[in-house]
A and B are shown apart, each in its own frame.
Chain A
Amino acid sequence: MATIERADAAAQAQGGIPTRSQIEDFLYLEAALLDEWKLDEWLALFAEGATYDVPTTRAEDDADSADQLFLVADDYARLQHRVRRLKKPGAHSEWPRSRTAHSITNVRIVAVEGDELLVRSLFITYRAKNDVTDCYFGHHIHRIRAGADGLKILSKRSMLDMSSLRPHGRVSIIV
């Protein structure tokens, strides 16, 4: 049986604006790396200087973490620390780690400017630990650069489209 390599959308992206299916492959790859807890490989999808935000529930898409309380507002340094922390047994909320299923759908390229794309998608993420399963849902807003080094995430914002973060006690996973 032939081995099917993990689709490397980054390689396909070179030369021209990526297609939606290439972007989808890239987002599916991101989801798979999180589910497989390959956090260093996940981090490598981000460009240096990238940011990762999770505003509070019911926030607007353009909410600003400089004047509003968020759940996560990582600059690149804190994003690196987040990954480093999650791999330690001292991150008790993820040790033993939870099981997750990150599902991505309704992927749309909503704007293209030069080599940057603005991509919206819906997500449903299930997280299971201690015999409890929580569901997070909402939409991602990715800014993605299609450059010589392939596709890189410039920013990722995860909007939780729930009315509150209940019954969940934590977003200790990356949604």
Chain B
Amino acid sequence: MATAFEKRPAGSGWVVEDHASFRVARTTFTDQDVLERERAAIFDRCWLYIGHESELPNANDFVRRQVGGRDLIFNRDRKGEYRAFFNSCPHRGAAVVREDKGSTISFKCFYHGWSFNNNGAFATRFAAGTYPEDFNRDGCADLTAVPRLAGYAGFWFVNFDAGAESLEDYLADAKDFLQVVADHAADGMEIVGGIQEYSVRANWKLLVENSFDGYHAHETHSTYLEYLVDAIGGPAELFPSRGNISRAYDLGNGHAVIEGPAPWGRPVAQWIPAWGEDGREEIAAIYAELEQRLGKERAEQVAYGNRNLLIFPNLVINDIMAITVRTFYPEQPDYMNVNSWALAPKGEARHFRKRRLDNFLEFLGPGGFATPDDVEALESCQRSYRNRAAAGWNDISRGMLRDMPLADDEAQMRAFWREWDRRVAEAE
């Protein structure tokens, strides 16, 4: 695992660092031309999360997804192969899928009735003479597939750049952390029904920073922490083998994670007093299975470790009191759309699933006891960038002089910003 936060010379001019200071220009959150560069340099070229394998359990299943500004179909064909297509009829462009999800062996455009097999092949017959004999020989009437589609540890990604590096190379050391999340259950993980779909009137990169910002918790989330003391019935036991220290790790290619002891209950597998003595035994059984399957070190990491993971540019997996999978895209410099899912072990006991979802809702999402305050903070930052002509820079230098950055330092954000800087500079 990479731990050194290697410095690179700044390229775009929007990110400026020396040995002890790191600053980001506030125009990166406000300017339309920055967003245009991000679209070209980042969202058109990076691997972007489209969905989890559990959302397509059977052949012919599909979901509709908005990814990187595109309207996509993510599906499995009749043979069970994973596919992803642009959701546009090649004839005039109308959407061929208008539901959120379903199961079908073919897609049909409602405008003129053109049909397609679920492998994308054109499947409409016309009266002889309507079109030339060799119509669609070049595939112009097939659904257009996304240039690249690949999965890792159950997480599926698309890339709109056909020449991009492989997903595995792209993920670099983040692969291990995706595997940690996949390792929670012997039978695999699944997305639990229901998507939190909301928006924030702020730049998308502010949510990147916020998603693995260990520094803001006490100030922003005091009311949640007060609630927690009462709700969990006393403090949870902390990470036994790691000295109870939360660290930040640079995972390469802009990916980074903060990891440390969980002060709250984790349905896999850290007990809190509120779950009672029966719950203690059940948690012990879950932990025993983890240790038997994964070994002691990995089992401890799965059970007792909080992880806030960013897969560059915009996939956040927070493996905390519950597991959230979250993506977000800019609509405008000061406005983003967020989608958030809950991930859980397959075959989890119903009362543990309920605890997990309760944990999720207590903290996370538009009705939680914490996320709305993050939204308030991000929107407040965004409004204040009206002052950027006089006050033009954000400071992201916390902990820069430490060899081993802590989770409430900002090394993880610097990892993101260096990659952002490199890619945006290349787009010039």
Residues of A within 8 A of B (CB): 54-59, 63, 65-73, 77-78, 81-82, 85, 88, 90-94, 130, 132, 164-172
- Bound complex: CA A139 to CA B223 (Å): 29
B194's partner among A55, A92, A169, A171 (CB-CB below 8 A) is A55
The range of chain B's interface size is: 35 or more
Decide if B350 touches A164 in the complex (CB within 8 Å). Answer: no
Output the least CB separation between B281 and chain A (Å): 21
User: B205-221 interface mask toward A, CB cutoff 8 Å, 1 = contact, 0 = none?
Assistant: 00000000000000010
Evaluate contact between B366 and A165: CB separation under 8 angstroms. yes
Given A68-B193, A165-B198: A92 touches B373 (CB 8 Å cut-off): yes
A92 touches B220 (CB 8 A): yes
From B192, B220, B366, B367, contact of A68 by CB (8 A): B192
The 3 A-B pairs with the shortest beta carbon distances in the complex, nearest first, are: A69-B194, A93-B372, A172-B372
- Specify which chain B residues have a CB less than 8 angstroms from the CB of A56 in the assembled complex: 194-197
**In the complex, how many angstroms separate the beta carbon of A95 from the nearest chain B beta carbon?**
9
Interface pair B230/A81, CB less than 8 Å apart: yes
Closest-by-CB residue of A relative to B337 is: A166
Q: Which residue of A lies closest to B335 (CB)?
A: A167
CA of A54 to CA of B366, assembled, Å = 10
Chain B contact residues, majority secondary structure? helix
- Which of B6-14, B238-246, B351-359 interfaces with chain A? B351-359
B contact residues around A59 at 8 Å (CB): 194
Set B220, B227, B360: member contacting A85, Cβ < 8 A: B227
Give CA–CA (A58, B195) in the complex, Å: 9
Q: Which residue of A lies closest to B322 (CB)?
A: A69
Task: Output the nearest chain A residue to B361 by Cβ-Cβ distance.
Answer: A73
Nearest to B192 among chain A residues (CB) is A69
Closest to B371 in A: A170
Complex partner residue of B354 from A63, A66, A92, CB under 8 angstroms: A66
- Whether a CB of chain A sits under 8 angstroms from the CB of B157 is no
Residues from chain B with Cβ under 8 Å of A69 in the complex = 192-196, 341-342, 357, 360-361, 365
Residues of chain A with a CB closer than 8 A to B350's CB: 66-67
* In the complex, chain A residues whose CB is within 8 Å of the CB of B337: 166
Nearest chain A residue, comparing its CB with the CB of B196: A56
Instruction: Show 29 A/B contacts (Cβ-Cβ < 8 Å), sorted by A.
Output: A65-B354, A68-B194, A69-B193, A69-B194, A69-B341, A69-B342, A69-B357, A69-B360, A70-B357, A71-B365, A71-B367, A81-B230, A81-B369, A85-B223, A85-B224, A85-B226, A85-B227, A93-B372, A94-B372, A165-B198, A165-B366, A169-B198, A169-B201, A169-B372, A170-B366, A170-B375, A172-B367, A172-B372, A172-B373
Contact A169 B200 (CB under 8 A): yes
Closest partner residue, chain A, to B193 (CB atom): A68
Q: What CA separation (Å) do A170 and B374 show in the bound complex?
A: 10
A93 CB → nearest B CB, Å: 4
Separation in Å of the B363 CB from the closest CB of chain A? 12
B173 is an interface residue with CB less than 8 A from chain A: no
> Is B377 located at the chain interface by the 8 A CB criterion?
yes
CA A81 – CA B127 in complex, angstroms?
A: 68
Interface centre among B227, B367, B377 (most CB of A within 10 A): B367
In addition to A56-B197, A72-B367, A166-B199, 19 A-B residue pairs with Cβ atoms within 8 Å of each other are A58-B100, A63-B194, A65-B357, A66-B353, A67-B353, A68-B193, A69-B194, A70-B357, A77-B231, A81-B369, A132-B201, A165-B197, A167-B335, A169-B198, A169-B379, A170-B372, A170-B376, A171-B372, A172-B372
Residues of B within 8 A of A94 (CB): 372
Q: Complex: how many Å from CA A70 to CA B196?
A: 8
Q: Could you tell me the distance between the alpha carbons of A26 and B151 in the complex, rounded to whole angstroms?
A: 53
Known: A65-B354, A82-B369, A85-B369. A169 touches B193 (CB 8 A): no
> Nearest-CB distance from A101 to chain B (Å)?
19
CA A98 – CA B25 in complex, angstroms?
Answer: 31
